[in-house]
Structure 1
Amino acid sequence: MTWDDAQTRNHVTRVEALIAALDALPHDAARARATETVEALVDLYGECLARIMDRLAGHPDAAALTEDLAGDELLDHLLLVHDLHPQPPEQRIRRALEEAGNGARLLSLESGTARIELPATGGCGSGTAAAATAVEAAVRRLAPEVDRVETVSVAAPAPTQPLIPVDALLSGLRTADGAPQQVGAG
């Protein structure tokens, strides 16, 4: 049975609700046993996934296969949950920034803090705030191990003026009406 992305998201939401409901169980022993059971299943499936990833590592197309696995939203998150993701956080952050599509770039990732450069949008700043929020959400989705996202807004550089404008160079070579003057004709 293969679910489409919508079915998968619905199932993830259902599982999250079921796990959250464990806290509402009236008996401490039942709550503890149910939580322990869920944790044991997650650990078991994590071990199975780790063995799959180990086997893939020896495959001649390992890089392409692991990238393909990481490209699937559900598998991507599962690999993250079990600390098995084939891409380092920096690569996933850059992918998140590309997906956000606002010209942001990763400046650094140190001690769990990602510093992101955002191009200034001009105006009152609400565009920059919205871009920062979108970037942070994208980074947290693909690199949840990042503790903090700092955005730095950078204004676009002003266009440079030529040292000598072309019009100044040609001013002596034009007639009074602006038409090019014939040079060397005589």
Structure 2
Amino acid sequence: MTDRPRLDERTVAGHLELLEELLSGLEATPGPTAERALDAIATLAEVYGEALARVMDRATAASPELGAALADDVLLAHLFVLHGVTTGQAPASEPGAAFIPLDTLARRPATARAAP
């Protein structure tokens, strides 16, 4: 489906561990630059969450089996949890679990916090 090489499960797990370390380090970094970076990550997560929700809406409407298959994929299930996308199915792992810290991506960007 794509020309780029695919990541195997072990590589994905390694990337996710690295991402967790990087996000934790960024959260521990004081100052406005770190705050802006975290706001950018949160905004990106919010937009990608909406994109994932739209994919699930369309996939499930076209084929409930396709929606179920997407929700059953371990990596996708973690993305859905991370981005707050409800799939109607329990994640393949423990409920509410995600590979990377939810609080980092769940924070509201400064622009959203400042809005009335």
TM-score, normalised via structure 2 length: 0.69
**Aligned match of 2:58:** 55
Structure with greater proportional strand content = 1
Q: CA deviation at 1:87?
A: 3.1
**Aligned match of 1:86:** 87
Query: What percent of counterpart residues are identical?
Result: 30
TM-score, normalised via structure 1 length: 0.45
Structure with greater proportional helix content = 2
How far apart, in 2, do the equivalents of 1:6 and 1:82 lie? 22
Number of positions where the alignment pairs a residue of Structure 1 with one of Structure 2 = 93
Q: Does 1:29 align with 2:3?
A: no
**Aligned match of 2:101:** none
Q: CA deviation at 1:52?
A: 0.8
How far apart, in 2, do the equivalents of 1:70 and 1:55 lie? 13
The answer on whether the counterparts of 1:70 and 1:86 sit within 8 Å (CA) in structure 2 is: yes
Is the partner of 2:70 in helix, strand or coil? helix
How far apart, in 1, do the equivalents of 2:96 and 2:57 lie? 23
**Aligned match of 1:13:** 17
- Displaced runs of 4+ in structure 1, greater than 6 A? none
The answer on whether the counterparts of 1:76 and 1:85 sit within 8 Å (CA) in structure 2 is: no
Q: Does 1:4 align with 2:18?
A: no
CA RMSD of aligned residues (A): 2.0
Q: Which has the higher contact order (CA 8 A, sep 6+)?
A: 2
Q: 1:70 to 1:9 in 2, by over 3 A?
A: same
Q: 1:83 to 1:7 in 2, by over 3 A?
A: same
Q: Deviations over 1:102-140 (max 9, x none)?
A: xxxxxxxxxxxxxxxxxxxxxxxxxxxxxxxxxxxxxxx
Structure 1 unaligned regions, length at least 5: 97-140, 146-186
**Aligned match of 1:68:** 69
Q: Deviations over 1:10-42 (max 9, x none)?
A: 1111111110111333x4111211110110111
Structure 2 unaligned regions, length at least 5: 98-116
How far apart, in 2, do the equivalents of 1:47 and 1:86 lie? 13
Specify the code of the residue in structure 2 equivalent to 1:16.
E
Q: CA deviation at 1:68?
A: 1.1
